[in-house]
């Protein structure tokens, strides 16, 4: 084959494959069998290998390729990606409509779109060719995740018009992909993703594009940045133009002449939401006219011409089959509702916490009842109430046992506590839960040691305390079910890497009663080494701010035990770090940062920072992060789905920031 013939053949194959890909992933109307598509792809790969001079960046063969990255580089958005204001009820939407009318009069219309629950991204095309894909970041600066976005087959690598354009969309994980991914994670003993949104975000931030490709992500485009003269005068026209250019937009959109039509659209989707193959968490309402959008303008963080209506937490009815009992690492016995499987907010729920016996009595929940279940924050299953009107007479009242369900020791109720507790230190359930706590994310953070793997190791008597984790061998792990060579290698590496963790992680992981992650860090910063903390008196401990008598007594009692001393000696022998490696706290006198001496509360879901990251950075700048809002609170950082804490802050007139402002402030402070 000569060069001209090869070039023609490659060009024809690319056109065919692009068309078939568009039909399958955008239109959802495949015109050829998968086998034919695969055969054409194989032909193209072979030709490009023989004639690499004709391989181009927009070739279908380039969707998964390139080296594994060390990190993502920062990129600037050509036009800021603003966040949207929120509406939670009809009154909020009518207030939004009133403000629009005051500004532009009565001659306008809205466009309503489904609010996809995923990760906002920006795609940049130059002369029609995909050149860059980035996360939203702080709205001005994002991360270059082009290598992962290329793996989403509904994103065209070349659009049908040679425009230079920046478009915005929401990358998401379909429900079917989410369920399949979590099945694999559970089989591997790994922590499943809480929801499709977290799964999509985690997939797109993988440094290895092959992992992103395996997650079967998708995207809907919903907006446009800057572009030259096109004659487009309305947002609805933009969406139609995106369709013609080969982008995938959500077709469940509607132009509404007035707020009444908007409310009807919203109400309809509250009912239809569970039947979609992807998650949505609301409806986005936009003024359609681009000229009126420009007239309305924007605040520093959000446009005045658009708002996001957030759905209330989805509630469903199912049957409570039984109540199970779980023994935690501190011996607390917690009742858990076993439910007939039911879909709530996109995932199947079979268990929900009932907290304690007093709550069961207060809500009059009985075994056999039909109950209302919801997910708090669309994440944690919760039994809201029983439906006594549906009782048949066969329901049974629940009574907590007098003995531990694991070791049969007598349960006790400590003064001023509502929970029953097993106080047997050799209770196997407490030992197992303590091991699970030790390897958890906020403690030693040993990747691959999920609850199932730890339980398996414990039941096989390979581990009995945390030091045993550092004695595990390749041969022992290979003998376990579902443990292959690669999994074992990764797990042993993660265990080895955990030895270098800073002192506060180990201290928290030991599970000393009353010592949470925050107290562990305070203690680590005060004593700097485990040996110094072990020798501290109760008086020295209570002299530290935020360490009370109860916690001090618990710490001193722990280090007085011979078993605790022996355990720490073993961990030292295995090379586990005992020193504090983190930054020292900054006093208000030592810094002029905006957080110095201020009390800050974090509430809702943060996109760019984890709660711990935000907390650590604020505390490093002299701030104090609290879990509750009061008159002494100075700043509330409100993420997505912020609830009662945000409401209380508004009532008290406290300064409220969104995540974008937090990141902006943090980025502008020299530490």
* Cβ atoms within 10 Å of 481's Cβ, excluding its own: 8
The verdict on whether 115 is a catalytic residue reads yes
**Would you say 601 and 625 are in contact if contact means Cβ atoms under 8 Å apart?**
yes
Q: Is 49 left (phi over 0), alpha (psi -120 to 50) or beta?
A: alpha
Angle, helices 562-573/549-560, rounded to nearest 10 degrees: 70
Q: Token pair of 609, please? A: 């920072």
Name the strand (E) or helix (H) holding 494.
Answer: helix 485-498
Q: How far apart are the two ends of the chain, measured CA to CA in Å?
A: 63
**Could you tell me the CA-to-CA distances from 219 to 14, 149, 185, 396 in Å, in that order?**
22, 9, 23, 48
> Which residues, in sequence order, are bridge partners of residue 13?
none
Q: Token pair of 586, please? A: 């900054």
213/195 Cα distance (integer angstroms): 19
203/172 Cα distance (integer angstroms): 10
CA dihedral 53→58→62→66, nearest 10 degrees, is 80
570/558 Cα distance (integer angstroms): 16
Indicate the SS3 state at residue 566. helix
**Would you say 604 and 639 are in contact if contact means Cβ atoms under 8 Å apart?**
yes
Q: Which of 434, 443, 478, 474 is nearest to 576 (CA)?
A: 443
612/508 Cα distance (integer angstroms): 14
Place of tokens 């009107």: 389
4/352 Cα distance (integer angstroms): 66
Which strand ranges, in their side-by-side order, compose the sheet holding 85-87?
85-87, 306-310, 280-287, 110-116, 254-256
Helices (H), 397-484: 428-439, 451-459, 474-478
Contacts of 386-391 spanning 24+ positions with Cβ under 8 A = 386/320, 387/317, 388/364, 391/366
Sign of CA dihedral 606, 607, 611, 614: negative
Q: Which residues have CB under 8 Å from 124's CB, separation 6+?
A: 78, 130, 131, 132, 133, 134, 165, 166
Residue 412, φ and ψ in degrees, nearest 5: -130, 155
**Would you say 132 and 123 are in contact if contact means Cβ atoms under 8 Å apart?**
yes
| DSSP for 41-66, written as a single string | HHHHHHHHHH-GGG--TTSGGGSS-S
Task: Produce one character per residue of 71-95: b if its CB has 16 or more CB atoms within 10 Å, e if not.
Answer: ebeebebeebbbbbbbbeeeeebee
143/73 Cα distance (integer angstroms): 6
Which listed residue (14, 115, 310, 598) is catalytic?
A: 115
> Which residues, in sequence order, are bridge partners of residue 334?
326
Q: Could you list the active site residues? A: 115
């Amino acid at each position: 084959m000569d060069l001209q013939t090869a070039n023609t053949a490659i060009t024809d194959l690319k056109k065919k494959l692009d068309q078939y890909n568009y039909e399958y992933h955008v239109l959802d109307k495949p015109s050829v069998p998968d086998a034919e598509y695969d055969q054409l792809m194989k032909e193209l790969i072979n030709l490009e290998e023989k004639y690499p001079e004709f391989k181009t960046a927009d070739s279908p063969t380039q969707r998964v390729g390139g080296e594994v990255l060390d990190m993502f580089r920062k990129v600037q958005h050509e036009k800021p990606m603003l966040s949207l204001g929120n509406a939670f009820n009809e009154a909020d939407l009518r207030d939004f409509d009133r403000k629009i009318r005051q500004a532009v009069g009565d001659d306008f219309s809205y466009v309503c779109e489904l609010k996809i629950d995923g990760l906002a991204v920006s795609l940049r095309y130059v002369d029609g060719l995909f050149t860059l894909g980035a996360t939203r970041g702080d709205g001005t600066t994002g991360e270059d995740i082009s290598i992962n976005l290329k793996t989403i087959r509904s994103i065209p690598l070349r659009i049908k018009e040679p425009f230079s354009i920046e478009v915005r969309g929401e990358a998401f994980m379909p429900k079917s992909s989410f369920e399949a991914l979590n099945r694999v994670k559970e089989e591997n003993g790994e922590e499943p993703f809480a929801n499709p949104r977290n799964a999509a975000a985690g997939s797109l931030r993988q440094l290895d594009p092959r992992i992103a490709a395996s997650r079967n992500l998708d995207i809907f485009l919903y907006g446009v940045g800057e572009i030259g003269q096109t004659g487009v005068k309305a947002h609805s026209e933009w969406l139609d133009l995106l369709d013609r250019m080969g982008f995938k937009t959500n077709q469940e959109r509607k132009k509404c002449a007035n707020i009444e039509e908007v409310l009807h659209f919203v109400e309809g989707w509250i009912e239809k939401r569970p039947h979609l193959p992807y998650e949505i968490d609301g409806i986005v309402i936009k003024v359609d006219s681009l000229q009126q959008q420009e007239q309305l303008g924007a605040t520093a963080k959000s446009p005045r011409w658009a708002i996001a209506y957030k759905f209330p937490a989805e509630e469903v009815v199912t049957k409570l089959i039984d109540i199970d009992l779980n023994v935690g690492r501190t011996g607390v016995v917690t009742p858990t509702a076993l439910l007939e499987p039911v879909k709530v907010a996109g995932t199947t729920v079979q268990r929900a916490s009932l907290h304690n016996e007093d709550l069961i009595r207060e809500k009059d929940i009985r075994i056999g009842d039909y109950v209302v279940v919801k997910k708090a924050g669309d994440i944690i299953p919760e039994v809201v109430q029983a439906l006594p009107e549906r009782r048949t007479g066969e329901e049974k009242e629940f009574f907590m046992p007098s003995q531990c369900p694991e070791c049969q020791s007598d349960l006790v109720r400590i003064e001023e506590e509502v929970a029953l507790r097993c106080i047997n230190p050799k209770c196997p359930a407490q030992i197992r839960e303590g091991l699970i706590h030790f390897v958890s994310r906020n403690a030693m953070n040993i990747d691959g040691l999920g609850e199932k793997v730890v339980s398996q190791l414990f039941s096989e008597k390979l581990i009995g305390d945390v030091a045993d984790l550092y004695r595990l061998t390749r041969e022992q792990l290979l003998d376990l079910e579902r443990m292959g060579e690669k999994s074992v290698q990764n797990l042993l590496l993660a265990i080895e890497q955990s030895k270098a963790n800073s002192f506060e992680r180990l201290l928290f992981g030991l599970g000393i009663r009353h010592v949470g992650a925050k107290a562990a860090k305070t203690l680590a910063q005060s004593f700097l080494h485990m040996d110094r903390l072990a020798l501290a008196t109760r008086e020295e401990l209570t002299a530290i701010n935020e360490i009370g008598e109860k916690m001090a007594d618990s710490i001193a009692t722990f280090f007085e035990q011979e078993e605790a001393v022996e355990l720490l000696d073993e961990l030292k022998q295995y090379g586990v770090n005992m020193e504090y490696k983190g930054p020292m706290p900054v006093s208000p006198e030592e810094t002029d940062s905006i957080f110095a001496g201020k009390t800050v509360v974090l509430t809702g879901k943060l996109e760019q920072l984890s709660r711990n990251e935000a907390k650590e950075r604020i505390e490093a700048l002299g701030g104090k992060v609290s879990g509750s809002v009061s008159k002494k609170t100075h700043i509330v950082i409100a993420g997505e789905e912020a609830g009662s804490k945000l409401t209380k802050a508004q009532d008290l007139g406290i300064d409220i920031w969104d995540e974008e402002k937090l990141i902006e402030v943090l980025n502008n402070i020299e530490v």
